[in-house]
Chains A and B, each alone.
Chain A
């Protein structure tokens, strides 16, 4: 008994076996590459965040410790950007979750053309983010955009409307473009979840007299919790750190209507060339995203 327990313990010291050495040899090149392109930049950017690095002041990069973090966290503009980011993320995640569920339920049914519809659904997902942003820029343009053209021809509006230039609409319109791109992936994830629900569960519920709505709320939805968890965590992370649409559609404007955190990081780092505070801001965003994802996973895990 003692012997078997000892054998099960992982070996902590001692020379590597032949197999371990070979394995190490095979893994080493990739490990070196990962160290160079991922680990080193991550650590180096943290190092930079401890200095006052402004590229336009070469040779003057004093160590400031955590001052950059204090500066960022005490800046009201940063907190305004956090508020905008939170609004955008909530809007996107709720919309994506609801729409993806509806589409997944549809595609889970048998009907003519289901396969074609499934294939078409993937198109937005396959479009690169930048192309997606440019496409929506054309659609939303107030002077010659397709949206105005369509609404005008359908007699829904008497004159062309201002879309992205209206600060009350800007974030919702950007969210719409983001949702359009992200719904397919969320749908696939939920569809996979739907396929794994045993047919017996629905059959048993039917026998018990449950109607379609009851079956949806008492069988389908509870069975999709883990898939929903994945969708919510992934889309929250994507929405919080999203940048492309803000860059191409509005450049943070009009005014400060779309000043989200990712946009501020870009401006601070690549326009103001303040790499120290930019890196600090990026670290704060990364840690906040990590904490949020962890909290969502924990919350969902408790309910599953």
Chain B
């Protein structure tokens, strides 16, 4: 009877109010308490060197006690995946960023400058084009993950058979040597350059444009690609002539992607190729290449008004505003970025691991004098020449928030010119017009 009385005293409304208050308090306590602090650092990458990354994370966790939640997605869909995550406010603290996306992501506020973290912005040992590639509107947005450049590689054995003693120093020499090789029946298409519509295309184009002394845009971001004196004309004209007149470059270059170029060059059917430098190791690997030992790097041929300049690219560790919003999380994220992009236990461990595993380049100058690196490079390349070419690399001048949209139009225009559907001038005018339109819209 007493029990009944007590239960009756607790009305339904009182019970619900008490329960709601209790749940609310528990929820608040959970939010304010150790739950957030205990949440791991969220680290997103594209699917490259996954096992190497995992092992380096494990070492970081063991050393610092900071937990890391690692996720990766394919490179081909990485930009779209990350943007969807940003829009959906998925937890991301640090991530790999391509230099091509920096302005877009910075303008959208998805990544934040890291200037306030001095350990991340000590650039004394970093190549200048890498620093430039991580900088937008005067602010630095991360520290180095990996960098590389477009290299000019030749098949020494084929040159030898053709009686050519030294590799070409200029694009005119490339054409004449290729013609000799073709005439001697050593190769149907001596030159191999990818002009397929894929993410690599801008790097191939820019290497050609820089070495021919041209630019796509000036320092103020205005289109100059169509300018006969300072633009991209000589580079595109060389490509068009190589396909249409001299027939030293296959018309199929418009469908041959970077990976296909690598496979084709390793087959030994070509003499000269524009190939990312880190592929040199694969080309000299007997298990993967028929020209192992004969794939050599030369300085990028110079155009009539050009130099041996090439394009360099950069992938770096970016940091999100989410990570910076909380001091503890920010500090842990910085530690992780240092561990990967800077020194771990006093040395550039991750850069060396990547170099050893896949031959990836690095933006750290002192690594060129590292005995281990030099010994590894010496087995398949000329380390001094590799370093010299890297010092001549420059960042892409077209990296802007509207780069992606323009890139499709530009690629189409170049391909049309190479196929002879439109003139070089028309292609560059179309490309410049789109650039100007997008710049105005922004």
Residues of A in contact with B (beta carbons under 8 Å apart): 55-58, 141-144, 159-160, 162, 164-167, 250-256, 259, 267, 270-273
Contact = CB atoms under 8 A, between A and B. Distances in A.
A165 B254 contact: yes
Given A56-B83, A56-B104, A162-B250, A250 B408 contact: no
Given A56-B108, A143-B256, 5 more contacts: A57-B108, A160-B188, A253-B196, A253-B412, A255-B254
Given A58-B108, A254-B419, A165 B255 contact: yes
Contact of A162 (B83, B86, B251, B411): B251
A273 B110 CA distance: 15
Across the A-B interface, the 4 shortest Cβ-Cβ residue pairs: A142-B252, A254-B254, A255-B416, A165-B255
B83 A55 contact: yes
Contacts of B35: none
Contacts of A144: 263-264
A162 B405 CA distance: 28
A268 to B, nearest CB: 9
A94 B267 CA distance: 41
B109 A143 contact: no
B28 interface: no
Contact of B256 (A142, A255, A267): A142
B197 interface: yes
Binding site of B, secondary structure by majority: helix, strand, loop or mixed?
Answer: helix
B398 to A, nearest CB: 16
B197 A58 contact: no
Interface in B239-258: 250-256
Given A270-B80, A271-B404, A254 B108 contact: no
Interface string B96-112: 00000000100111000
Binding site of A, secondary structure by majority: helix, strand, loop or mixed?
Answer: loop
Task: Kindly name the residue among A160, A252, A254, A273 whose own CB sees the greatest number of chain B CB atoms within 10 A.
Answer: A254
Interface in B69-96: 80, 83-84, 86-87
Contacts of A252: 197, 412
A272 B416 CA distance: 21
Contacts of A142: 250, 252, 255-256
Interface in B266-298: none
Given A56-B108, A56-B401, A143-B264, A253 B256 contact: no
Given A143-B256, A253-B196, A256-B412, A58 B87 contact: yes
B58 interface: no
Interface in B397-442: 401, 404-405, 408, 411-412, 415-416, 419, 421
A256 B416 contact: yes
Contacts of B419: 165-167, 254-255
29 contacts: A55-B87, A56-B83, A56-B104, A56-B108, A58-B87, A141-B260, A142-B252, A143-B256, A144-B264, A159-B188, A162-B250, A162-B251, A165-B250, A165-B251, A165-B252, A167-B419, A167-B421, A250-B255, A251-B196, A251-B197, A252-B412, A253-B196, A253-B255, A254-B197, A255-B254, A255-B415, A256-B412, A271-B405, A273-B83
Nearest to A58: B108
A69 B405 CA distance: 19
B438 to A, nearest CB: 10
